[in-house]
Amino acid sequence: MKSALLSIAITFACAPLATPQDDHSVAAFIETARAATTKYQDRSVAIAEGYRQIGSDFPAMGEHWINIGLLFDGKFDPAHPEILTYAVVSGKPQLLGVAYVLPLLQGESPSDWPVSKEAWHDHFRTLEDETVRPQHHVAGHAGDAPRLTMLHAWIWLANPAGMFAADNWALPYLRLGIRPPQDAPDTAAKALSLVSGGAEYFSASINAVVPLTSTESKKVDAAFARSRVVVEALLRDPSIVTPAPSELKRLSAVWTGLWKEIDSSVRPRARQSLQQVPIR
């Protein structure tokens, strides 16, 4: 698990990149990807065909299930995604979308189809950093160096930020059986995620950025616990199933207040580092 992704890319990214598709429209991409992955709504089919979970369950991404056999074939094929994303909803795995991964050598770049190269993001740390720790959200661009580059496509769960955005903040609503409202702030969804594993994830994210003292950790954990209790109380109102703007505002206030409390709980140097945490 500690093998560097860079060395993997250097070792295996030898096949010429290919995009076996004549129609280069976004609509054609979506149609092909959906037709090919409908069968994976039954996760046992995905397992039978070689997909295995890797890493954590991310609040706005779900679980990543990767097919290693597809990872190093040097092809970008909408019908054969290297990764499937799932979340457990009401006790059952639900397919959310797909992700395409290409190992690139120096001088190589991803396809401009179905979206621009900028929609891809690079992973170039160790497998542990990328899939176990919350460093996944620190993904960016590795320049021209060898790397793995990834494109998410939310073909089974509409993404308010766009189909090809990395995070999908409709997911916390889905997990809780709440209809995702249009134009809702991400802060409301982040607050909701505190009751479905998000609190533990965000706490780990903080410790991955800056090691906290024992006292600071206790204060931060207490802040998450208090915020979670507030969200749980809001969820007891039946109207939350179709949240009104006022309810979304209250949820956003929980998230904003949480980070104010966290900032006040740590030393100034740690507080400065936490200002850069992507998930806040």
What would the pLDDT profile of 84-104 be if each residue is shown by its tens digit?
999 999 999 999 999 999 888
Instruction: State the pLDDT at residue 131.
Output: 53
User: Considering only 45-49, 114-118, 198-202, 239-243, which range has the smallest mean pLDDT?
Assistant: 114-118
* Per-residue exposure over 12-28, b if at least 16 CB sit within 10 Å of its own CB, e if not: ebeeeeebebeeeeeee
With H, G, I as helix, E, B as strand and everything else as coil, classify residue 169: coil
Helices and strands (H, E) in the chain, number of each type: 11, 6
Of 1-5, 112-116, 146-150, 258-262, minimum mean pLDDT range: 1-5
Q: Output the pTM of the full model.
A: 0.85
Q: In this predicted model, which residue has the larger pLDDT, 22 or 52?
A: 52
CB 223 within 8 A of CB 261: yes
Q: Residue 56, CB half-sphere, CA atoms under 13 Å: how many?
A: 21
Averaged pLDDT for residues 59-66: 95
Looking at residue 209, what is its pLDDT?
A: 81
Distance CA 265, CA 280 (A): 15
Average pLDDT of 139-156? 76
pLDDT of residue 144: 60
pLDDT surpassing 50 at residue 3? no
pLDDT of residue 183: 87
Average pLDDT over residues 69-83: 90
Long-range contacts of 268-273 (CB under 8 A, 24+ apart): 270/210, 270/212, 270/216, 273/209, 273/210
Listed residue (124, 125, 209, 201) closest to 167, CA to CA: 201
pLDDT bracket for residue 23 (50, 70, 90): low
- pLDDT at 52 exceeding the cut of 80: yes
Q: Note the pLDDT tens digit of each residue in 198-246.
A: 998 898 888 888 889 999 999 999 999 999 999 999 999 999 999 999 9
Give the residue with greater pLDDT, 163 vs 24.
163
Contact 9, 147 (CB under 8 A): yes
| CB atoms near residue 247 (< 10 Å) | 19
The whole-number pLDDT of residue 119 equals 84
**Residues pairing with 101 in the sheet:** 150
Mean pLDDT of all residues in the chain?
85
Residue 145, pLDDT above cutoff 80: no
